Each structure stands twice: as C-alpha cells, then as structure tokens.
Amino acid sequence: MASMRDIKGRITSTKKTKQITKAMQMVSAAKLNRAQQNAQAFQPYTEKIREVVASIASSSTEVSHPMLEERPVKKTGYVVITSDRGLAGGYNASLIRSLLKTISERHKSPDEYGIIVIGRIGRDLFKKRNLPIIQEITGLADQPDFNDIKNLAKTTVEMFSDGVFDELYVWYNHFVSALTQEVTESKLLPLTNIAEGVTTTAYEYEPSEQAILERLLPQYAESLIFGALLDAKASEFGARMTAMSAATDNATALIDDLTLVYNRARQAAITQEITEIVGGAAALE
C-alpha cells in the first residue's frame, strides 16, 4: 500500500498536470476561434473562382482543359493533411487509419499511388511504413498563410498536368464542431463536376475564355488544397481542445480520488497514534 507521502506526491503532480492541460485547453480554444474565421474568410474566394470556371465550362464547347477531363487512371495522388503535434485525441489516428484502408482496397502496388503529406505525424508514420511519399511539408504555423504551401500546392497540381498522376484526392478532417471532426476525402482533380450546384453568371472575357481557364484552373485547384488545410487546422484545434478538456476532467477526478485515499490514510494514522498513546498511558498506571 502506498504511503501518505507517496499519495501526497501523486496529488501534487496531478495538480500540476491539470494546470498544463487546462492551459492547453484555453490556448486551443483561442486558436480554434481564429482558425474558424480564417476558413470562413477564404471560402468566398474559392467559390468565386469556381463560379467563373463553371460559367466558362458550361457555356462554351470550344474551350477545353486537361483538368476538366477524365483519363485512364494509372497512378493516383493523395494529399494528406495531418498535424505536427499530438495531444489531439483521435484526430490523426482516425484519418490515417481510413486512408490506409482505402489505399489497401484500391491499389495492389505502391507504384499505383503517391502521397503528398502535410504534417509531421503523417510524414513519420508513412516513412515508417515505407509508403511512397512524393512531397512533404512540416512545421507549418498554427494560422498558415497560402505562401507557406504555395510551392507544394503548385507542384502537386503540375504533377497532374504533367501526367505524373491521373487523379488527385485530398484527405483531411472536416470541421463540424469542436466535438466532431469528419474524415473527408475530396476529389481534387480532374474537376469533372465543377458546375454542379453552381449558379452561373454571364461574363465577358478578355483576352479569351481559353486563356482565362488556363490561368484560373490551377489557381482553383491550389485554393482547394489551402482551403482543406484551413478546415483541417480548425478541426485540429477543436480536437485538441476537447482532448485537453477531457484530460483536465480526468485529472480532477483523480485528484478527488487520491485526496479521499489520503484523508482515509491520514485518519487511520491519527487513530493509530491515539490508540498507541492510550495504550502507553494505560501501561504506565
């Protein structure tokens, strides 16, 4: 049985841990609020590009672009967005588990796919499993800017245009609420359904529809990657806030249990001392 000193030490260390988890919970809540604002502010930009591209694609039969056309799939690319740090519950585990299951069902050989990974957690695990990592980036800021992933997004889209990949998917955790994040697979390229659900508007284009399309389509695809990253960041902070809240609650419960054990042990020690004093006094009579 643990001594009173050991129990007291565990109570003290648990209280310190609780202070840390509580602080991390509050920091994550503040970062979550800002991440949500960033994701919401970026959506109008992506939606406007999609509207213009959809207008061109649906109104003209004379324009074409490889990003709008399906082709036989020989190799698939997966853009996977994970975090650089842990302590976020099942944020990374659920995403990676679903991705690996999908890859095992779709592909028979590593030659049939490649991974573009964002985040140290995913990068380390994929390297450990010897999966084909084509590009990687780690150490992004908590509130990333497009310039942080500009080169990765640009080269990823170019790999589709150059025929390295015949289709591209982005995998990330979609933010539903601070308590809920959904593992999401979104088809990045080709953009075969870009006009679905979009109300098109008539535009006049200069110099030409084809020139505008060639300029906007890569930008749109790159913006989809960045938009998914912003969404994933909000999910990460929501997951971390929830995990730290649960850890704080568990620490509180453990402190209560240890305090009860400590008080019982202390009461037993006092009772034992009283008994010994009474017994010693009786022996002296």
**Domains of the chain and CATH, by start:** 4-23+244-284 (1.10.287.80), 34-242 (3.40.1380.10)
Q: How far apart are the first and last CA of the chain?
A: 36
Alpha helices in the chain (DSSP H): 4-59, 91-106, 120-128, 146-161, 209-284
Residue with tokens 């929830």: 242
Report residue 201 CA to chain centroid gap.
35
Residue 269 has pLDDT above 90, yes or no: no
Provide the pLDDT for residue 282: 66
Question: Could you tell me which of 49, 90, 123 has the C-alpha nearest to residue 236?
Answer: 90
Provide the pLDDT for residue 63: 67
Percentage of the residues of the chain whose pLDDT score is greater than 70: 89
Q: Please tell me what DSSP assigns to residue 121.
A: H
Provide the pLDDT for residue 111: 93
Q: What is the mean pLDDT of residues 156-160?
A: 92
Provide the pLDDT for residue 215: 82
Question: Could you tell me which of 57, 42, 75 has the C-alpha nearest to residue 145?
Answer: 42
Do the Cβ atoms of 138 and 126 come closer than 8 Å? no
Give the tokens for residue 192: 């075969």
Provide the pLDDT for residue 265: 82
**Residue 66 binned pLDDT confidence (cut-offs 50, 70, 90):** confident
Q: What is the mean pLDDT of residues 244-257?
A: 93
- Rounded-to-integer distance, Cα 56 and Cα 45, Å: 17
At 198, phi and psi to the nearest 5?
-110, 130
More reliable by pLDDT, 113 or 67: 113
Cα→Cα distances 169→13, 131, 204, 221, Å: 45, 16, 32, 11
Do the Cβ atoms of 80 and 99 come closer than 8 Å? yes
Do the Cβ atoms of 180 and 58 come closer than 8 Å? no
Residue 285 has pLDDT above 70, yes or no: no
Residues belonging to the chain = 285
Residue 25 has pLDDT above 90, yes or no: yes
Tens-digit pLDDT profile for residues 31-64:
999 999 999 999 888 888 878 777 776 666 666 7
Provide the pLDDT for residue 277: 72
Provide the pLDDT for residue 281: 64
Provide the pLDDT for residue 255: 93
For residue 99, with 0-12 CB atoms within 10 Å meaning exposed, 13-18 middle and 19 or more buried, which class applies?
Answer: buried
Do the Cβ atoms of 132 and 124 come closer than 8 Å? no
Provide the pLDDT for residue 209: 74
Which pairs count as long-range contacts for 259-263, CB under 8 Å and 24+ apart, including other chains?
259/11, 261/7, 262/4, 262/7, 262/8, 262/11
Report residue 252 CA to chain centroid gap.
28
Tens-digit pLDDT profile for residues 180-233:
999 999 999 888 777 666 666 666 767 777 777 788 888 888 999 999 999 999
Residue 1 has pLDDT above 60, yes or no: no
The one-letter code for the residue type at 51 is: E
- Rounded-to-integer distance, Cα 139 and Cα 65, Å: 34
Provide the pLDDT for residue 125: 95
Provide the pLDDT for residue 50: 79
**Residue 16 binned pLDDT confidence (cut-offs 50, 70, 90):** very high
Question: Could you tell me which of 196, 192, 188, 173 has the C-alpha nearest to residue 220?
Answer: 188
- Rounded-to-integer distance, Cα 156 and Cα 134, Å: 9
More reliable by pLDDT, 202 or 21: 21
Do the Cβ atoms of 115 and 134 come closer than 8 Å? yes
Question: Mean pLDDT in the chain?
Answer: 87
Give the tokens for residue 275: 């008994």
Q: Please tell me what DSSP assigns to residue 162.
A: T
Residue 253 has pLDDT above 90, yes or no: yes
